[in-house]
Amino acid sequence: MQKLIADLKASNIGEIRTNERLAPYTTWKIGGPADCLIIPHSKEQVAAAIKFLHERGLPWTVIGRGSNLLVGDRGIRGVVIKLGHELDTLRFEGSMVYAGGSYSFIKLSVLAAKEGLTGLEFASGIPGTVGGAVYMNAGAHGSDVSRILKQAEVILDTGELVVMQAEDLQYAYRHSILHTLPGIVTEAVFELQVGDRNEIAGAMAAYRDRRLRTQPLQLACAGSVFRNPEGGFAAKLIEEAGLKGKRVGGAEISMLHANFIVNTGEATAEDVLTLINEVQLIVEQSYGIKLVPEVLVMGER
């Protein structure tokens, strides 16, 4: 590992941190260390970094703002990549929006609204990056990324930069081809529509008020833990099973929203995973429905 670190530092691929604890990089505030964290500050450094790792057969993982992520207590072996703030870019060209991979998805929705552009209202409560949103086909309130994405700039693990059209990403519910095609989204182009600023602001305010009333945003969490089953709602099933308030260690099913697991202060990844497994077991026994987690679980337990 020492030789690898020395080689990485000599390769001018960004900031290199070793044995970096990942809990502060996630909204759950949970997770052990990464062997190595690379923070590239340009597209060229992103390409150089993943090409370097690919050529040596070394595993790597990319994280955004950690809003849909559970990192194991023993951390992540190999290399973790987090885009630097230099890739936090934004520009408007009429109804087209060009956003860097590390740009805040929430901030993007707010600024688009100020421009009088509609289509991103659903994103006003999704606390991830643009790159993460493209990767996951993030969505809420009946809409998602697939409906507004024009194209995405992706750097493959060979170091090649490609432009993928929306149809190339093979979008499905919270899924894209990027789940199986290793690459990092460095920019996305969204095609919005001109709308009424007051109507857009009103819709976003209504979404915000509803979130504040129904979601435990004052505590560390990762948003909805389970996908909604076809024709139903995970939160309703969990609540009807009497699981609100159920706790394992420092992890607790929120009393405010049953599809949220909150970190009450000292939760471990094992606490969260145990609680997830118990919820799945009880809901399946009660209703014959196996709830599927939509959070990404990475690293070692």
3 state DSSP class of 24? helix
Residue 93: CA count within 13 A, CB half-sphere: 6
The domain spans of the chain are 2-85, 88-199, 216-298
Average pLDDT over residues 21-50: 96
Which residues are paired to 148 by β-bridges? none
The question of whether 224 is a catalytic residue gets the answer yes
Q: Could you say which of 65, 109, 174, 252 is catalytic?
A: 174
Over 80: is that where the pLDDT of 1 sits?
no
Distance, in Å, from the CA atom of 289 to the CA atom of 278, rounded to the nearest integer, reads: 13
Amino acid making up residue 214: T
Q: Which of 101-115, 202-216, 260-274 has the lowest mean pLDDT?
A: 202-216
Over 90: is that where the pLDDT of 129 sits?
yes
Distance, in Å, from the CA atom of 100 to the CA atom of 134, rounded to the nearest integer, reads: 11
C-alpha to C-alpha distances, 275 to 19, 223, 242, nearest whole angstrom: 28, 15, 14
- pLDDT score, position 2: 78
- pLDDT score, position 9: 84
- pLDDT score, position 253: 98
Over 90: is that where the pLDDT of 8 sits?
no
For 88-199, CATH number? 3.30.465.10
- pLDDT score, position 141: 86
The question of whether 294 is a catalytic residue gets the answer yes
Owner of token pair 């934004």: 90
Q: Could you say which of 124, 224, 252, 254 is catalytic?
A: 224
- pLDDT score, position 127: 87
Architecture in CATH of 216-298: Alpha-Beta Complex (3.90)
For 2-85, CATH number? 3.30.43.10
Q: Could you say which of 20, 121, 252, 294 is catalytic?
A: 294
pLDDT band at 3 (very low <50, low <70, confident <90, very high): confident
Q: Which long-range contacts (CB under 8 A, 24 or more apart) does 161-170 make?
A: 161/43, 161/47, 161/186, 169/134, 169/137
pLDDT band at 224 (very low <50, low <70, confident <90, very high): very high
- Please report which residue ranges of 101-240 form alpha helices under DSSP H: 105-114, 130-136, 197-214, 234-240
* Other Cβ atoms closer than 10 A to 36: 23
182-199 b/e with 16+ CB inside 10 Å = b? Answer: bbbbbbbbbbbeebeeee
* pLDDT, tens digit, 9 for 90 and up, residues 154-207: 999 999 999 999 999 999 988 999 999 999 999 999 999 999 999 999 999 998
The question of whether 21 is a catalytic residue gets the answer no
